[in-house]
Amino acid sequence: MRVLVTGGAGFIGSPVVAALRERGHEAIVFDVREDPADDVRDPAAVARALAGVDAVCHQAAKVGLGDGVADAAEYVSSNDLGTAVLLAAMAEVGVRRLVLAGSMVVYGEGRYECPRHGVVRPGPRAVADLDAGRFEPPCPVCGADLVPGLVGEDAPADPRNVYATTKLAQEHLAAAWARCTGGSALSLRYHNVYGPGMPRDTPYAGVASFFRSALARGEAPRVFEDGRQRRDFVHVRDVAQANAAALEADAAPGVLAAYNTGSGDPHTVGEMARALAAAYGGPEPVVTGAYRLGDVRHITADSARLRDALGWKPQVAFEDGMVEFARAGMRGT
């Protein structure tokens, strides 16, 4: 299969290209890092790149929490306009298979249960609570403490920041394309991807990159809130294999199917920071109590659907991945 990989020179795109080639596919890189003309928002450039292509693996995106709404136009342009241009070109030339780099951020907060009211969906955390160090969202009905759990793909979407909103819009665009063309679309909702080649020293990288960059400077990783927020850290090579499996799958035409893509082994941010610092041999993390408005407290995946439907399962254990990441190189911004 000849596969166009947008963002194919990036942190996740590069391992996707490698995984496809290892499995005997022809992977074509389309990325402004390699050629400034490879802009996914340019209809002519995209049309040229799609010549002779059987499928598209769409990784190109502006990622990260961003700066409130100040850079909203940049996110919408990169993520949503770029996706719309790509899908229109695919419809025109007859490419009917798409795998999209989705994100767990479309859910907002994760799954919570109240002892009295069962499964509930807390709203955005109040600034007054965050300022006072009350980081756990309370039950929206009675104010009781909640128990976090694993979120499934059928959970309602509730994006809490600009980036999350653009990622959900990408899925809606892909679903519309699938309905209009009869194409197949799969969205892999990545959880916290980490591993060799993460970009360093950038506000748009993941938390693992922040901590690894600090250690490289001889500084202690600075952990927000109380460090007890739960995440699912999944290795980039496992994510690459998930993309390859999705491209090879017998996907239903005319619909978009979403799959959580996580390790299934949740850890707190503080645990990750300590594991990375220990593996690197650097200073112990510092828990700051600071917060970022728009962050969610807990979000961890139930990836059973991906494992059952596509036969994928992660291979890199958390402890092994942190040791490798501590010793691996990082890329510039």
Residue 155 DSSP class: S
pLDDT (tens digit per residue) in 230-269: 999 999 999 999 999 999 999 999 999 999 999 999 999 9
What is the maximum span of the chain, computed from C-alpha positions, in angstroms? 58
Checking 270-274 for CB contacts under 8 A at 24+ apart, the result is: 270/223, 270/226, 270/227, 270/228, 271/227, 272/207, 272/208, 272/211, 272/231, 272/233, 272/322, 273/211, 273/221, 273/223, 273/227
Enumerate residue ranges in the chain where pLDDT < 50: none
Amino acid at 95: V
pLDDT of residue 282: 95
For 278, residues 6+ apart whose C-beta sits below 8 A from its C-beta are none
Q: How far is CA 148 from CA 78, 120, 301, 305, in A?
A: 33, 10, 11, 20
Contact 233, 318 (CB under 8 A): yes
Tokens 């978009």 -> residue = 256
User: Which of 75, 107, 112, 163 does the annotation list as catalytic?
Assistant: 163
Contact 260, 104 (CB under 8 A): yes
Kindly tell me the number of DSSP H helices and DSSP E strands found in the chain: 11, 15
pLDDT of residue 204: 60
Q: What is the 3 state secondary structure string of 35-94?
A: CCCCCCCCHHHHHHHCCCCCEEEECCCCCCCCCCCCCHHHHHHHHHHHHHHHHHHHHHHC
pLDDT of residue 333: 55
194 flagged as catalytic: no
Distance (Å, whole) CA 42 – CA 32: 11
DSSP per-residue letters across 200-250: -S-TTS-HHHHHHHHHHTT-PPEEPTTS--EE-EEEHHHHHHHHHHHHHS-
